[in-house]
Structure 1
Amino acid sequence: MIHPLLNKFIHKLIFSLAICSILFWGCGAEHEGDTTLTVDYKTLPHNLIITGHPIKSIDLHFSGSKSIITAFLAMDLTYVPDLTAVTAGVVSIKVKKEDIPLPEGLLLKEIKPARFALHVENKIEKKLPLKVSIAGKPAPGFIVEKISVEPSFVILSGPESLLLNMDRALTLSVDIETFSETFKKKIPLSLPWEVEIVSPVKIFLAEISIKENSVTKKFTHLPLKGKNTKFLYSFSPDVLEIEVEGPENILKNMSAGSGIDIFIDLAGLEPGEHLKRASIILPFRARLLKVKPEFFNVKIRVP
Structure 2
Amino acid sequence: MDLSQAAPGQNYFRLTVDNIRAPLGMEITKISPSSIRLYLDAVKTRSVPIKAKLTGKLPNSLSLKSVGVEPAFVILQGPESTLGKIREVFTDPIDLSLVPEDRKIPIGLDLESPQIHLAPGQPSQVAVDLKLERTL
Judge same fold: TM > 0.5, yes or no: yes
The CA deviation at 1:87 is: 0.9
> Given the alignment of the two structures, is residue 210 of structure 1 paired with residue 132 of structure 2, yes or no?
yes
Q: Which runs of 5+ in 1 are unaligned?
A: 1-80, 215-246, 248-303
Q: 1:1-303, aligned counterparts within 5 Å?
A: 81-97=1-17, 98-104=19-25, 106-109=26-29, 115-191=35-111, 192-198=113-119, 199-212=121-134, 214=135, 247=136
- Count residues in correspondence: 133
Q: Aligned in 2, Cα 1:107/1:161: closer, same or farther, shift over 3 Å?
A: closer
Query: Using the alignment, how far apart are the partners of 1:120 and 1:193 within structure 2?
Result: 16
Query: Using the alignment, how far apart are the partners of 2:23 and 2:39 within structure 1?
Result: 28
Q: Aligned in 2, Cα 1:123/1:138: closer, same or farther, shift over 3 Å?
A: same
Higher relative CO (Cα under 8 Å, sequence separation at least 6) belongs to 2
The CA deviation at 1:94 is: 4.6
Query: CA deviation digits over 1:18-56, x for unaligned, max 9?
Result: xxxxxxxxxxxxxxxxxxxxxxxxxxxxxxxxxxxxxxx
Query: Using the alignment, how far apart are the partners of 2:13 and 2:103 within structure 1?
Result: 51
* Identical amino acids, percent of aligned pairs: 22
TM-score, structure 2 as length reference: 0.76
Structure with greater proportional helix content: 1
TM-score, structure 1 as length reference: 0.38
| 1:185/1:207 contact within 8 Å kept | yes
Tell me which amino acid in the other structure corresponds to 1:158: G
| 2:22/2:28 contact within 8 Å kept | no
